[in-house]
Amino acid sequence: MRLLQHEKELEEPFEKGQIGSSAMAYKRNPMRSERINSLSRHVITLSMDPSITAATQWLERTLDDSANKRICVPESFLAVDAILILYANISQNIVVYENVIKTNMMQELSFMATEEILMNAVLKGGDRQELHEKIRVYSMEAGKQVKEFGKPNDLVDRIANDSTFGLTKEEIIKALNPNNLCGRAPKQVEDFIEERVNPVIDKYSNLIKDLNVEVNV
C-alpha cells in the first residue's frame, strides 16, 4: 500500500482537513499503513518476551514469569486490535486511481510482453534466435531513452520499424492487451476468495456483520 501510494496508484482514505505532511503541504502520506507497520514491529518484538522468559527463569512460577506476562500478553492483544481497526478502515475506503495504474503499466508493458511479440513474429516466419537478439538490443536502447533521457518507451516503434519482425504497429499493440497476458491470475484470485476468504467471513459473520470502523487522524 505504501509503495503504490508513492506511485499514485492507490491511496488511503484521506479525511477532510487531514494534514498529509507536516513539512510538505501537498503530500498525502500513508499514515495508517505506517502505523500498522510500526505496531506490527512492536508485536513481533513482544513475541520475544516469553521466549526469553522461558530460557532464563527457574520454572518455579516466580514473579519474573507472571510480571512479564501481565505486560506482554495484553499489550500484544491491544496492539493487534489496533492493527485490525486500521486495516479495516483502509480496506473499506481505499482509493484506486485506475488511469494512473494503466499509464504506469503501459509504460512497462512492452518490455514485459516481448515474449508475446517474439512468438507472434515467429508465427509469421521469423527466425527466433535472430529476433530474440534484436529484441534484446532494442529493449536496451529503449530503456536507455527512458532512464537516461526521460523519454517515452519507444520499444514498440523500434520493433514495428524493423521489417524482419513482419509485424505492424497495430498488430504489436494488439498483442499488448493486458487481459491476454495475465495468465490464470484472475481465476486464482477468484479461487482464493471462494475457497479461503469466504469461508472465514461466513464463520465469523455474526462478529463482523455490524462492523463500522472509524479512525481519528
Whether the pLDDT of residue 198 is over 50: the answer is yes
If one counts every other C-beta atom within 10 angstroms of the C-beta of residue 14, the result is 15
| CA–CA distance, 98 with 54 (Å, rounded to integer) | 51
| CA–CA distance, 35 with 81 (Å, rounded to integer) | 12
Whether the pLDDT of residue 181 is over 90: the answer is no
Whether the pLDDT of residue 215 is over 80: the answer is no
Where are the chain's structural domains? Answer: 2-14+25-99, 100-180
Binned at pLDDT 50, 70 and 90, residue 172 comes out as very high
Residue whose entry in the numeric block shows the C-alpha cell 499514485: 8
Binned at pLDDT 50, 70 and 90, residue 21 comes out as low
Average pLDDT of span 63-87? 88
Query: What is the percent of the chain where pLDDT is above 70?
Result: 90
Residue 158, pLDDT score: 96
Residue 61, pLDDT score: 66
187-193, long-range: CB < 8 A, 24+ apart: none
Amino acid identity of residue 38, one-letter, is: S
pLDDT tens figures, 23-39: 676 677 888 999 999 99
| CA–CA distance, 108 with 7 (Å, rounded to integer) | 14
Average pLDDT of span 6-17? 84
Task: Classify domain 100-180 at the CATH class level.
Answer: mainly alpha
Whether the pLDDT of residue 213 is over 60: the answer is no
| CA–CA distance, 158 with 134 (Å, rounded to integer) | 10
Average pLDDT of span 195-207? 89
| CA–CA distance, 176 with 149 (Å, rounded to integer) | 24
Q: Quickly list H helices, the chain.
A: 2-6, 31-46, 48-56, 63-93, 98-112, 114-123, 128-149, 155-160, 169-175, 185-192, 198-203, 205-208
Burial (CB count <10 Å: 0-12, 13-18, 19+), residue 36: buried
Whether the pLDDT of residue 217 is over 50: the answer is no
Whether the pLDDT of residue 59 is over 80: the answer is no
Amino acid identity of residue 66, one-letter, is: S
Average pLDDT of span 100-114? 91
Contacts for 22 with CB less than 8 Å, ≥ 6 apart: none
Which range, 65-69, 101-105, 158-162, 210-214, is most confident? 158-162
Residues in the chain: 217
